[in-house]
Each structure stands twice: as C-alpha cells, then as structure tokens.
C-alpha cells in the first residue's frame, strides 16, 4: 500500500495540516489552532479521528507514522519563529547599517488624510538645505551692511580715479592710441622730413580734438611707445655686433633711456609752471612729443650699423634737424597761442620767455639723441 504524506504549517493560527494520499484516496488532518469541528461536520470529524487512530496503531512498512509527523510541539515552533524574527529585524536595523538610504520609500502604511513624516521631510529638505548662506543673506542687517560696503567701495574708486586723473588721465589714453596704418606712415614721414608740411594746426570737432587717425598733427603715444621698444632692440643688436652684448647692459640701456625721458618731461612741466604759461598741453602730450625723438635715434643707429660711423653721423644729423623743426612748429601753436592767433609775434617779456622755452625744448631733443646713441656705434 503506497502512502504519501505532506505536512503544512500555518503561521496565522499556529496549526499543522497533514495531507495523506493512500492509494487513490486523499485525507487531510489538522492539528493545533482552532477546533476541527469548526472546519468539518461532526460525523466526518469523528470518522477521521477514528481512521487516524487505527492507522497510528498499525504502522505500515515504508510509511512514516502520522503520530511521528504530527506530534510536534507547536508552541515550540511558534516561540522559535518569534525568537528568530527579532534577530532578522535587528540585522536590517537602519541604525546599525552603514548605508541606510533605501532605494524606494515605504508608503504602504500611508492612509487617506495622513501626513507622513517622510513626505514632510521630502518637502522641507530642499528648502531647508538649499545653501548655508541663505539665512545670512535674508537678514536685513546683512543686506544693509552689504549696501554700505558697496557704497564705500564705489566712493573709494571714484576718489582714486579723480586723484589719478590729475597726473595721468587714464580715461583719455584711448585717444592717443586711436591710430591706423595710414596715420603711422604719414607721421613717420613728417618726423623725418617736416620741411614741406604747411598746416600744423590740430583739427577740432565741437571743442574736442579729433582722433589721431583723422589728423596727422594730433599727438599720439603709439609711435613713441613702439619707438622706445625698437630702440632697445636695435641697441641690443648693435652691442651684439661688437661682442659687448649682455642682458645687464641691455637693461641699463633701456632704463637709462626711460629715466632721461621722465626727467625731460618733468623739466618741461617745471618750466611751464615757472613761466606761468596758460596752455592746453597735458602731461601725456609732452610725453608724446618727447618720445618722437626715438625715430631719429633708430635711423641713426641703423645707419651706423650699415655704413659705419660716417653713416651714423650723417643720418643722425639729418634726424636732429628734422626733429628740431618739428618741435618748433608744433609747440609754437601750443605755447605761443596768442601770437599764433594773430599771425605775428607779440613783443613782450612773457612772449619772449615762451619763445625761449619752445626753442629750449626743441634744442634738447638732438642732445638726448646723441647722448643715448653715440656709444652704440664704433
């Protein structure tokens, strides 16, 4: 007789159901939990109890007795299961886990009208932790302090700009660099050969001088600046051809040329102050006019490198005469404005002083040209 037995344990009411298959018949017994009478009718329950008692009395070979399967301590299983369940929960305790951030939030216990804490934290999190300085910036005292600090900074900037513009008008430097290729070519030709030029007056547009690229008579800083750099490079070339080149010597040459230029401009400013000349010449204008002599110095040194000392002296003499004429005709309209307006020289001690000052400034240019270049050609 073939008998198959299967045991099922129900956790809800702690009962065990034994299912036996004897031949073609299927029997089911229930142990523990509620009474069997609640599940089966009374005659059937009695018949099943009698049948199970007879089967337990005569065990069949090869079949596991029902008593051995069903005599299980149900409270023991329940207690063991309840004891192991807290241990499993403790393993999943988020306080002990290193990474307790779940992938999905459990919303199974959220009911209708409930306000879960997870949603409150979710909504308040981005607003509360936007950035640390949000509470500081929202403080009215902080806003007042920031406004006061910005006003102090703007006042300090205006004061620095105003005091700096008294000596060097930084805001007007763009005017002196507003040049183009045509202007540079015409200006270089005027510096080397000024004898045929007739109109030396600076053009104005609504009481403002036009940009240098529109008027060849307007002073600029591009040619003096590039002339100074080119002079330093040509001086290094001349020293290299004589096996006397060294970075220290080239630095001395550049610094000495710059110092002499600054001293010349300061001397002219002091002379204008002592003579009390009312002129529209600015410090930048004097710097531009004094820097035009570097063009003649470059021509003289290159002539000396190509043709020796004779070429140096001839080319330098020509450039000295040209810069002298250029300075006389340019500064005459700036310093002798009253006489130039009438077209004749006005007799008087003040005008004579202005004329002597103009000639002195023009005569100083050849002296500096020779002083800064004679030792470069041998």
Q: Are 352 and 359 in contact (CB under 8 A)?
A: no
Exposed, middle or buried by CB within 10 Å (0-12, 13-18, 19+), for 17? Answer: middle
CA 338 distance to own-chain centroid: 54
Grouping H, G, I as helix, E, B as strand and the rest as coil, residue 228 is helix
**H/E stretch holding 32:** strand 25-32
Categorize the per-residue pLDDT at 61 as very low, low, confident or very high, splitting at 50, 70 and 90: very low
What is the per-residue pLDDT across 189-241, written as a single tens digit (0 to 9) for each? 999 999 999 899 888 888 888 999 999 999 999 999 999 999 999 999 999 99
For residues 19 and 108, which has the higher predicted lDDT (pLDDT)? Answer: 19
Tokens of 278: 């009312």
Return all residues near 336 (Cβ < 8 A) that are at least 6 apart.
345, 351, 354, 355, 358
Distances (CA, A) of 272 to 167, 208, 264, 359, 376: 15, 23, 12, 13, 34
What is the per-residue pLDDT across 311-337, written as a single tens digit (0 to 9) for each? 999 999 999 999 999 999 999 888 876
Most confident of 70-74, 83-87, 164-168, 282-286: 282-286
Look-up: residue for tokens 């800083």? 221
Counting residues of the chain whose pLDDT is more than 70, the rounded percentage is 59
Q: Is the dihedral of CA 24, 25, 26, 32 positive or negative?
A: negative
Instruction: Please state, in angstroms and rounded to a whole number, the distance separating the CA atoms of residues 163 and 159.
Output: 6
Distances (CA, A) of 133 to 121, 128, 138, 142: 21, 11, 9, 11
Q: Are 64 and 5 in contact (CB under 8 A)?
A: yes
- Quick check: 75 pLDDT over 80? no
Per-residue b/e over 188-225, b at no fewer than 16 CB within 10 Å? eebbbebeeeeebebeeeeeebebbbebbbbbbbbbbb
Helix axes 222-241, 247-275, angle to 10 degrees: 140
Give the chain's radius of gyration (CA, Å).
54
Look-up: residue for tokens 């430097």? 173
- Quick check: 70 pLDDT over 90? no
- Quick check: 339 pLDDT over 70? no
Instruction: Please state, in angstroms and rounded to a whole number, the distance separating the CA atoms of residues 95 and 91.
Output: 10
Instruction: Please state, in angstroms and rounded to a whole number, the distance separating the CA atoms of residues 79 and 100.
Output: 30
Most confident of 190-204, 264-278, 287-301: 287-301
Other beta carbons within 10 Å of 307: 14
3-state helix, strand, coil in the chain (%, to 5): 65, 5, 30
Q: Are 331 and 286 in contact (CB under 8 A)?
A: no
Instruction: Please state, in angstroms and rounded to a whole number, the distance separating the CA atoms of residues 246 and 252.
Output: 10
**pLDDT value at position 50?**
56
Beta-strand pair 25-32/3-10? unpaired
Q: Are 326 and 292 in contact (CB under 8 A)?
A: yes
Instruction: Please state, in angstroms and rounded to a whole number, the distance separating the CA atoms of residues 124 and 130.
Output: 10
Return all residues near 150 (Cβ < 8 A) that are at least 6 apart.
none
Instruction: Please state, in angstroms and rounded to a whole number, the distance separating the CA atoms of residues 111 and 329.
Output: 99
Look-up: residue for tokens 């409150």? 120
- Quick check: 101 pLDDT over 90? no
- Quick check: 113 pLDDT over 50? no
Q: Are 7 and 69 in contact (CB under 8 A)?
A: yes
């Amino acid at each position: 007789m073939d008998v198959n037995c299967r045991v099922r344990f129900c956790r809800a009411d702690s009962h065990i159901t034994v299912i036996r298959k004897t031949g073609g018949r299927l029997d089911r017994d229930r142990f523990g939990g509620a009474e069997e009478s609640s599940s089966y009718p009374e005659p059937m329950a009695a018949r099943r109890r009698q049948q199970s008692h007879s089967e337990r009395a005569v065990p069949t070979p090869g079949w596991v007795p029902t008593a051995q399967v069903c005599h299980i301590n149900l409270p023991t299983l329940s207690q063991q299961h309840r004891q192991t369940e807290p241990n499993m929960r403790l393993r999943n305790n988020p306080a002990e886990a290193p990474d307790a951030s779940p992938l999905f939030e459990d919303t199974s216990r959220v009911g209708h009208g409930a306000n879960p804490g997870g949603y409150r934290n979710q909504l308040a999190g981005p607003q509360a932790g936007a950035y640390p300085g949000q509470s500081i910036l929202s403080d009215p005292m902080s806003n007042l302090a920031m406004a006061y600090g910005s006003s102090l900074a703007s006042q300090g900037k205006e004061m620095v700009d105003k005091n700096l513009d008294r000596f060097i008008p930084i805001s007007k430097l763009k005017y002196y660099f507003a040049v183009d290729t045509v202007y540079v070519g015409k200006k270089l030709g005027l510096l080397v050969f000024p004898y045929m030029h007739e109109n030396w007056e600076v053009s104005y547009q609504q009481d403002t001088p036009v940009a240098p690229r529109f008027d060849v008579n307007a002073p600029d800083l591009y040619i003096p600046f590039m002339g100074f750099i080119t002079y330093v490079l040509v001086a290094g070339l001349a020293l290299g051809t004589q096996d006397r080149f060294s970075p220290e010597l080239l630095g001395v040459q550049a610094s000495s040329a710059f110092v002499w230029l600054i001293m010349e401009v300061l001397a002219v400013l002091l002379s204008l102050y002592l003579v009390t000349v009312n002129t529209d010449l600015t410090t930048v204008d004097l710097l531009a006019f004094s820097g035009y002599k570097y063009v003649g110095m470059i021509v003289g040194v290159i002539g000396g490198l190509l043709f020796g000392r004779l070429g140096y002296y001839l080319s330098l003499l020509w450039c000295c005469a040209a810069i002298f004429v250029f300075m006389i005709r340019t500064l005459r309209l700036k310093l002798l404005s009253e006489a130039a307006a009438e077209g004749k020289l006005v007799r008087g001690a003040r005008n004579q002083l202005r004329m002597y000052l103009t000639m002195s400034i023009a005569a100083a240019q050849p002296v500096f040209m020779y002083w800064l270049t004679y030792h470069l050609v041998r």
